[in-house]
C-alpha cells in the first residue's frame, strides 16, 4: 500500500494525459486467479474502508470505482463492501453501509461518511445516524433499519466475503469471484507514468478479466 501511495502522490502533479492500451495482462503480475467458486452473476467487487486514505483518494479524487462502474456491460454489477479491520467506528460503519445498500442510499452517504472518517470525527453510531439524517434519510427509517433482518444479513455478507477472499488491505478489487487485481511492487501499476494511465489500467484490466 505504501507503493500505491507513492505512485498516486507522484501522479497528482502529472500533466500528460496518455492512456494505457488494453495491452497484455499477465497472471501472477497483473492479476491472480482464485480457487473460490465463480459467482453466479458477473460482478466487480471492491473492498474498502471509510478510514482508508487510499480508498478516499480512489473514490473522491480519482473516481476509480465510478469509472469502472461506468465501463461495465449491463449484465455486470458493481458492489462495494466495507471492512472492519481499521479500527475506530469500523464495525458501525459496516452496519451503516449495509443499511445504505438496503435502502439504496449509497450515493447519498458515501461522501459524507468518507469525510467524517478521514477527519476522525465519528465517535458513535449517533454520529453516523446524524450523517444519514443530514443526507436526507429520515431518522425513523434509520432507526427502524439499522438492526433489521435485512441489514444484519448484509453485515454478515460483507464480513463473510472479507474472510472468503482473505482481504488484508484496501482498496481491493475482485472480478466474478475468480480474479484478484494485483497492485503490488511487481505489478503493472508500478510501471505507469501518469494518473490517467493508472486509472485507465483499472478499467482495462477489469474489462480484460470480465472476458476471461
Instruction: Give residue-wise pLDDT tens across range 66-109.
Output: 999 999 999 999 999 999 999 999 999 999 999 999 999 999 99
Tell me what pLDDT residue 93 has.
Answer: 98
User: What is the pLDDT of the chain when averaged over all its residues?
Assistant: 91
Q: How confident is the model at residue 7 (pLDDT cuts 50, 70, 90)?
A: low
pLDDT of residue 38: 79
Using 50, 70 and 90 to split pLDDT, how confident is the model at 40?
A: confident
User: CA–CA distance from 179 to each of 62, 123, 163, 205 (Å)?
Assistant: 23, 36, 16, 11
Question: Domains (ranges, CATH) in the chain?
Answer: 35-211 (3.40.30.10)
What pLDDT is recorded for position 39?
84
List the 179-181 sheet strands across, edge first: 31-33, 179-181, 172-175, 43-48, 77-82
pLDDT in tens, 124-171: 999 999 999 999 999 999 999 999 999 999 999 999 999 999 999 999
Q: 33, 176 in Cβ contact below 8 A?
A: no
pTM of the model: 0.88
pLDDT for 20: 40
Instruction: Give which of 187, 91, 196 is closest to 147, Cα–Cα.
Output: 91
Alpha helical stretches, state H, 121-190? 125-134, 139-145, 149-165
What does DSSP assign to residue 30? Answer: T
The pLDDT value recorded for residue 1 is 54
pLDDT, one tens digit per residue, over 14-28 is 323 333 444 579 999
CA atoms within a 13 Å half-sphere pointing along the CA-CB vector of 144: 6
For residue 195, CA distances in Å to 15, 64, 181 come to: 9, 11, 17
* pLDDT category of residue 36 using cuts at 50, 70 and 90: confident
Amino acid at each position: 500500500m505504501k507503493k500505491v501511495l507513492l505512485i498516486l502522490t507522484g501522479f497528482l502533479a502529472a500533466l500528460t494525459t496518455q492512456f494505457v492500451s488494453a495491452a497484455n495482462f499477465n497472471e501472477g503480475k497483473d492479476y491472480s486467479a482464485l480457487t473460490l467458486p465463480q459467482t453466479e452473476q458477473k460482478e466487480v467487487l471492491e473492498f474498502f474502508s471509510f478510514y482508508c486514505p487510499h480508498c478516499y483518494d480512489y473514490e473522491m479524487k480519482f473516481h476509480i470505482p465510478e469509472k469502472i462502474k461506468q465501463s461495465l456491460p449491463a449484465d455486470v454489477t458493481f458492489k462495494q463492501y466495507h471492512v472492519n479491520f481499521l479500527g475506530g467506528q469500523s464495525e458501525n460503519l459496516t452496519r451503516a453501509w449495509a443499511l445504505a445498500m438496503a435502502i439504496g442510499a449509497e450515493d447519498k452517504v458515501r461522501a459524507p461518511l468518507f469525510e467524517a472518517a478521514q477527519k476522525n470525527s465519528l465517535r458513535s453510531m449517533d454520529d453516523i445516524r446524524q450523517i444519514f439524517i443530514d443526507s436526507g434519510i429520515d431518522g425513523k427509517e434509520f432507526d427502524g433499519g439499522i438492526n433489521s433482518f435485512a441489514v444484519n444479513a448484509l453485515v454478515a455478507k460483507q464480513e463473510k466475503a472479507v474472510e472468503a477472499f482473505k482481504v488484508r488491505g484496501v482498496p481491493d478489487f475482485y472480478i466474478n469471484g475468480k480474479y484478484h487485481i494485483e497492485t503490488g511492487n511487481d505489478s503493472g501499476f508500478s510501471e505507469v507514468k501518469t494518473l490517467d494511465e493508472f486509472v485507465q489500467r483499472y478499467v482495462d484490466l477489469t474489462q480484460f478479466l470480465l472476458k476471461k
